[in-house]
Structure 1
Amino acid sequence: MFYGFVILITLLWYSFAEEATVVDDFFYDLENINPFLDRLITGTVLALLYFITETLLKGRTVGKFVTKTKVVLEDGTMPSVIDYLKRSFSRIIPFEAFSFLGNNGRGWHDSISNTFVVDVVRFEAKKKSQSELELIGKSQDDI
């Protein structure tokens, strides 16, 4: 989405520019940007895209649909927007990918945001059995 917007603005700018050298200079500067700044900008853009996707799809991304998983809080409720924001931007931390090598195999992005990735089928089955267990011993009037 962001890159599409940048491409659209660039094409409009290029079509209205009298000289193509202005656009060429822009792309030359973009190609020769500081590597740290490049990683920071790329990480921020990807974190925003991940955040927007995960928020709109209620804890799921394309990969989570394929693996039939979703993100929940420790109590099983849906995370808030702030939790998704923490989860998305904590991925920018250098060496975050190695955080899975710890004892519990839980990534820093999950630890920082206090979230868990769960299997949807098993999670819903356990949630259903928990609610049915709570109904035991209650009369029909209480339900």
Structure 2
Amino acid sequence: MSKIAIGGDHAGYEYKSKLVAWLESKGHTVKDFGTHNADSVDYPDFAHPVSSAVESKEYDRGVLVCGSANGVAMAANKHQGVRAAICWQTELAELARLHNDANIICIPSRFVNYDLVEQMTEVFLSTPFEGGRHQKRVDKIGC
């Protein structure tokens, strides 16, 4: 099983909390970087620690949850070793892994139902990077 770093803001708190329990029930080791309640917070305060944990390879993959997923994705992608992908369909989660070797999935809690969150996360965690012709493209992402 994988070591997963997870975090999110107040808009993602409910889904993130459910997802932590679900991931642990599947045998994953999960570190919840917060937030730990639904009070208004600043998403970079949670996106950066999750991203650092994935970038350092202390954790295999990351999950970030906020209202639109845009803010957490923008913050996460400031980290050179992070490839954070906003996903709202299982096909996007699969392609993010297959073609882009994404290591953090960003989930827009205001635009997807919770059952889909579990499905996308399962696909994201179980899909390998295809490599091949995609590797040279991934190698060009960092600045």
Fold in common (TM above 0.5): no
Q: Which has the higher contact order (CA 8 A, sep 6+)?
A: 2
TM-score normalised by L of structure 1: 0.27
More helix by share: 1
More strand by share: 2
